[in-house]
Structure 1
Amino acid sequence: MKFFVLVSLLAFGAVAKGDGVASSIESLISSMKESFSGLSAKRDLWYENYSTITKLTQSDTLQLEELLLVSKMAIPMIWSMYVNQVQGQKAYLTRLVNQELAQSLPYNAGFLAPPFPYFHVEATLSMGELQDFQVEVLRDSDVIYSLAVDFDEKRVVLGEARERNRILLEGDDFPPFQASHPFTINVQIADDCAFTSLWMTKMDASIPVPLPTKHHWCTQDYQQASTFTIRLGQDDQGTPDSAEDDQNDFGGEHQAIQLLALTVYDGVLVQ
């Protein structure tokens, strides 16, 4: 009612004061119409955007539910098949070295060269505290493979004696070693090529885990051998005799890196 009275008064004033005032009122009304039209267009745009976002959210929710269903059913099955395949290969291959132990480093294990220079090494270790250590593979007396872990530099260096091949794992690629948490180093020697993967957790058929990155290089260095040796050591260990003396000191056993198991298979594994 008040709005009607106001409009009536404005109209009356426009007639009373002439065409100039009437033009001003018409301009004001026109501006108000444009403003309302703009607000209406924005409202429609907001509604359209809201509807689009709602549809995308519903679609994403359905896809996530489908992905979760696949994860719960398919991934455990695929993982179980993978583990069973690896275990089946291990059962088929001859074990050149097979030891379960809890021996402090240093440690050496030698074996006669197989007819074909293809073998797979699995070494499971545990550290009471994080310490630098090394793993080497020797062909007769030549180092053909090495792995060195440096915790001060947060770096793993993979390579071989002639330093023609070097792979650095540092920064985000540095493995997440943990004190008193067993881990496994897999090394495969296939003639002149070497393959390495680091498992930070135990392989369990009931618990799927991401497969670790496999690092490799080839040297084109083909030589016959009579023996191979696996050599593991840790820094600041001194000579073997002094290392044994350290174990008798208080805390020495806790500080030493323990080799829990070492297995060498005659042949390589498809992992």
Structure 2
Amino acid sequence: MKLFVLAFLLAFGAVAKADGVASSIESLISSMKDSFTGLSAKRDLWYENYSTMTKLTQSDTLQLEELLLVSKMAIPMIWSLYTSQVQGQKAYLNRLVDEKLAQSLPYDTEFLAPLFPYFHVEATLSMDELEDFQVEVLRDGDVIYSLGVDFDEKRVVLGEAHEQNRIILEGDDFPPFQASHPFTINVQIADDCAFTSLWMVKMDIDNPVPLPTKHHWCTQDYHQASTFSIRLNQDDQGTSDSAEDDQDNLVDEESQAIQLLDLTVYEGVLIQ
């Protein structure tokens, strides 16, 4: 009897152990199944995201290629039309002043006021070294427009006689003047309004360049004029105590002088 009970207990223990192993294996399989299901879902999500990014990249690439192609064709065409229009206007408009020279500042010229007070000043300058200078437009002797460049402060001040309007270009807005690199100042006077743009590069029909910012103001100060004057000045180099110093300063001024290469005043305004 004792042997039978012992045998029964041993057999029951073996079955219990077998049931525990089976349960553990089933739990492990279930866990692995859940893991594979999760991994499959993540893989599908990753593949979906990857496919979306690939399609967007391909689409962006095609759009960029199309944009580059259009730019290569359109920009030169637009620039050619623009420069041709500007040259056509210059050929059509009467020239009140037309001087091509290499004269050191100061420079002063006067012309009779046109029937309508609309004119465009185009002055091209060059400097061996960066020197402060001023440009003024006078109406019957009164300053109605001024431009002053201060390289120490890196600031350009645009204004008019009563200083009711003042535009200051400094910091990132300060024009990139370069020594021995000609630049052009365009000033348009349209009755009581003044427009200014600074071209750091020469307009070339074959080489498109970004158009400079055009700054303007209007005063509502209407006045019929008889004459206008254009005046360009370089800051004084200081005073000297002897004739020898005067001679030395004269040589220095000539070597550092700002050169006015040409100046043209068109009757009417240019779309530029």
Distance (whole Å) between structure 1 residues aligned to residue 90 and residue 208 of structure 2: 19
Contact 2:134/2:148 (8 A) holds in 1: yes
Distance (whole Å) between structure 1 residues aligned to residue 202 and residue 14 of structure 2: 91
**Percent of residue pairs identical:** 84
Contiguous gaps of at least 5 residues in structure 1: 1-12
The answer for the alignment partner of 1:202 in structure 2 is 202
> Post-superposition shift, 1:14?
9.7
Structure 1 segment 178-193 matched on structure 2, within 5 A: 178-193=178-193
The answer for the alignment partner of 2:235 in structure 1 is 235
The answer for the alignment partner of 2:7 in structure 1 is none
Contact 2:237/2:253 (8 A) holds in 1: no
The answer for the alignment partner of 1:255 in structure 2 is 256
The answer for the alignment partner of 1:34 in structure 2 is 34
Deviation per residue, 1:51-83 (Å, 9 max, x gap):
112111211221122122212222111111111
Which AA in structure 2 matches 1:172? D
The answer for the alignment partner of 1:106 in structure 2 is 106
Contiguous gaps of at least 5 residues in structure 2: 1-12
TM-score by length of 2: 0.87
**Quick one: structure 1 residues 123 and 26, their matched pair in 2 at CA, closer, same or farther if it must change by over 3 Å?**
same
> Post-superposition shift, 1:236?
3.0
**Quick one: structure 1 residues 15 and 210, their matched pair in 2 at CA, closer, same or farther if it must change by over 3 Å?**
farther
Distance (whole Å) between structure 2 residues aligned to residue 235 and residue 26 of structure 1: 95
Distance (whole Å) between structure 1 residues aligned to residue 19 and residue 181 of structure 2: 92
Determine helix, strand or coil for the equivalent of 1:221. coil
Structure 1 segment 5-84 matched on structure 2, within 5 A: 17=17, 19-84=19-84
Larger CA Rg, structure 1 vs 2: 2
The answer for the alignment partner of 1:212 in structure 2 is 212
The answer for the alignment partner of 1:149 in structure 2 is 149
The answer for the alignment partner of 2:266 in structure 1 is 265
Distance (whole Å) between structure 1 residues aligned to residue 15 and residue 262 of structure 2: 105
Determine helix, strand or coil for the equivalent of 1:147. strand
Which AA in structure 2 matches 1:219? T
TM-score by length of 1: 0.87
Distance (whole Å) between structure 2 residues aligned to residue 159 and residue 69 of structure 1: 43
> Post-superposition shift, 1:16?
5.0
Determine helix, strand or coil for the equivalent of 1:205. coil
Total equivalences in the alignment: 255
> Post-superposition shift, 1:103?
1.0
Distance (whole Å) between structure 2 residues aligned to residue 228 and residue 15 of structure 1: 118
Determine helix, strand or coil for the equivalent of 1:129. coil
Distance (whole Å) between structure 2 residues aligned to residue 14 and residue 120 of structure 1: 110
**Quick one: structure 1 residues 15 and 154, their matched pair in 2 at CA, closer, same or farther if it must change by over 3 Å?**
farther
Determine helix, strand or coil for the equivalent of 2:205. coil
Structure 1 segment 137-176 matched on structure 2, within 5 A: 137-176=137-176
Deviation per residue, 1:151-201 (Å, 9 max, x gap):
222221111121100111122211111111111110000000000111111
Determine helix, strand or coil for the equivalent of 2:266. strand
**Quick one: structure 1 residues 86 and 19, their matched pair in 2 at CA, closer, same or farther if it must change by over 3 Å?**
same
Contact 2:184/2:200 (8 A) holds in 1: yes
> Post-superposition shift, 1:28?
3.0
Contact 2:118/2:188 (8 A) holds in 1: yes
**Quick one: structure 1 residues 124 and 39, their matched pair in 2 at CA, closer, same or farther if it must change by over 3 Å?**
same
Contact 2:137/2:230 (8 A) holds in 1: yes
**Quick one: structure 1 residues 135 and 24, their matched pair in 2 at CA, closer, same or farther if it must change by over 3 Å?**
same
The answer for the alignment partner of 1:4 in structure 2 is none
Which AA in structure 2 matches 1:137? V
Determine helix, strand or coil for the equivalent of 1:172. helix
The answer for the alignment partner of 1:5 in structure 2 is none
Determine helix, strand or coil for the equivalent of 1:152. coil
Distance (whole Å) between structure 1 residues aligned to residue 114 and residue 14 of structure 2: 111
RMSD: 2.2
Contact 1:128/1:255 (8 A) holds in 2: yes
> Post-superposition shift, 1:211?
1.2
**Quick one: structure 1 residues 112 and 171, their matched pair in 2 at CA, closer, same or farther if it must change by over 3 Å?**
same
The answer for the alignment partner of 1:116 in structure 2 is 116
Which AA in structure 2 matches 1:65? E
Determine helix, strand or coil for the equivalent of 2:145. strand
**Quick one: structure 1 residues 15 and 117, their matched pair in 2 at CA, closer, same or farther if it must change by over 3 Å?**
farther
